[in-house]
Amino acid sequence: MEEETYLELYLDQRAAQDDLIRPRSPLPSSIVPFDVFMPNSSTPETAFSSLLEEVEEASGDFSSVDLSFLSDELTQENKDPAVARSKREIEESCKTPRQPLPSEQDAGPDLNSRLSNSHSHLHPGDADSVQPSLEKSTFLPLASITPMTPMTSVSECSGTVPQLQNVVSTANLACKLDLKKIALQARNAEYNPKRFAAVIMRIREPRTTALIFSSGKIVCTGARSEEQSRLAARKFARVIQKLGFPARFLDFKIQNLVGSCDVRFPIRLEGLVLTHQQFCSYEPELFPGLIYRMVNPRVVLLIFVSGKVVLTGM
């Protein structure tokens, strides 16, 4: 069928470009332990092992297994911009933010608890320590679990770090609120009970919006970091306090983080959906981007042909 020959041609082209690198990959004796998140859940392992098998079966495909067994000096070769490797590079560039975490603490249990605190994994500030993390991760005690797709820092070459764009959090003020009174006495509030059963309040610093419900729960959106979101939620609680309600500040929780980044090379979305079919959803008739639901970590990525990637989810 024409479609199959076209696919073969496309993969052959990529094969021709990558043949330079293939012969040099050493055998997987120096296994770089991959995922220190593993102890928390067993299902991601199986998901990744199935992914690994599926990726290896695809003929001519450059599974992340091949290139990730390269030793560090050979990672320079990875600057070769084979577009087919974009799939793997995206996965690894998205794993970049997680690398700094192992570098900060070597102690096993500490690492575990920090890693299970899932909302910190997209912090952009730590990305500078990417270089030493690779070496350090080999010595982590937790890392002796079956290595799946080993994590090389190909991201060092791409250097792309997702920037946080939005943080959504919730808090409980633990008192019943009179929304009409709040809408009357606060300058920055809007309340339209026929449309929505909550007051929409905005503050300038940090520039955020909150939905305040009569049960005393609030949803705070628009902050660009977790700390800013917490500060903003506290400010909203303080406004409610000043309006005469016995508001407290309980159960603050980050619900969602949204980040974006640019890998700076075009991405063949139809190729990506062929190799990662169980994770991808690509409907060009509906939406120009590809929706990649990554299993470990549980993140949803919107991948566009221009190389821009939006990451979201907890």
Partner 1 sequence: MPGGGRCPDCGSTELVEDSHYAQSQLVCSDCGCVVTEGVLTTTYSDEGNLREVTYSRSTGENEQVSRSQQRGLRRVRDLCRVLKLPPTFEDTAVAYYQQAYRHSGIRAARLQKKEVLVGCCVLITCRQHNWPVTMGTLCTLLYADLDAFSGTYMQIVKLLGLDVPSLCLADLVKTYCSSFKLFQPSPSVPAKYVEDKEKMLSRTQQLVELADETWLVTGRHPLPVITAATFLAWQSLRPSDRLTCSLARFCKLANVDLPYPASSRLQELLAVLLRMAEQLAWLQVLKLNKRSVVKHIGDLLQHRRTLVRKAFRDGTAETEPQEKELQEQGQGQGQGKEEVGGSSLDLPEGKRPASPALLLPPCMLKPPKRTCPMPPVPMVTGDENISDSEIEQYLRTPQEVRDFQKAQAASRAAMSIPHPP
Tell me the closest approach of the beta carbon of residue 56 to partner 1, in angstroms: 19
Q: What's the burial of 109, exposed, middle or buried (CB within 10 Å: 0-12/13-18/19+)?
A: exposed
Total residue length of the chain: 314
Q: Is 242 in the site for partner 1 (CB under 8 A)?
A: yes
Tell me the closest approach of the beta carbon of residue 294 to partner 1, in angstroms: 15
- Cα 82 to Cα 14, 18, 138, 166, 240, distances in angstroms: 6, 7, 28, 32, 56
Q: Is 305 in the site for partner 1 (CB under 8 A)?
A: yes
Tell me the closest approach of the beta carbon of residue 104 to partner 1, in angstroms: 17
* DSSP-derived 3-state class of residue 44: helix
Q: What is the dihedral of CA 225, 176, 200, 122, to 10 degrees?
A: 20
Nearer to partner 1, 32 or 177 (CB): 177
Tell me the closest approach of the beta carbon of residue 30 to partner 1, in angstroms: 25
Q: What is the DSSP letter of 96?
A: G
AA identity, residue 147: P
Phi-psi region of 251 (alpha: psi -120 to 50; beta: other; left: phi over 0): left
Applying CB under 8 A, among 52, 127, 307, 314 the residue interacting with partner 1 is 307
**CB 218 within 8 Å of CB 211:** yes
Q: Is 217 in the site for partner 1 (CB under 8 A)?
A: no
Q: Is 219 in the site for partner 1 (CB under 8 A)?
A: no
- Residues in 78-107 at the binding interface with partner 1, rule: CB under 8 A: 79-81, 83
Tell me the C-alpha distance between 296 and 72, whole Å. Answer: 25
Measuring CA to CA, which residue among 58, 65, 61, 74 is closest to residue 20?
74
Q: Is 227 in the site for partner 1 (CB under 8 A)?
A: yes
Nearer to partner 1, 45 or 270 (CB): 270
Tell me the C-alpha distance between 237 and 301, whole Å. Answer: 33
Tell me the closest approach of the beta carbon of residue 244 to partner 1, in angstroms: 10
Tell me the C-alpha distance between 78 and 93, whole Å. Answer: 13
- Cα 270 to Cα 7, 57, 88, 143, 280, distances in angstroms: 10, 18, 15, 34, 10
Task: Please count the residues of this chain forming the interface with partner 1, following the rule CB under 8 A.
Answer: 54
Q: Compose the 182-211 pattern: x for residues touching partner 1 by CB under 8 A, - for all others.
A: --xxxxx------------x-x-xx-----
Applying CB under 8 A, among 120, 166, 306, 312 the residue interacting with partner 1 is 306
Nearer to partner 1, 65 or 274 (CB): 274
Q: Output the six-digit token pair for 167.
A: 């943080």
Applying CB under 8 A, among 265, 295, 310, 312 the residue interacting with partner 1 is 265
Q: Is 248 in the site for partner 1 (CB under 8 A)?
A: no
Q: Is 228 in the site for partner 1 (CB under 8 A)?
A: yes
Tell me the closest approach of the beta carbon of residue 177 to partner 1, in angstroms: 15
Tell me the C-alpha distance between 227 and 217, whole Å. Answer: 19
Pairing of strands 208-213, 290-294: unpaired
Q: Compose the 285-304 pattern: x for residues touching partner 1 by CB under 8 A, - for all others.
A: xxxxx--------------x
Applying CB under 8 A, among 209, 281, 300, 302 the residue interacting with partner 1 is 281
The residues that touch partner 1, with contacts defined as CB under 8 A, are 1-3, 6, 79-81, 83, 184-188, 201, 203, 205-206, 224-231, 234-235, 238-239, 242-243, 264-270, 273, 277-278, 281-289, 304-307
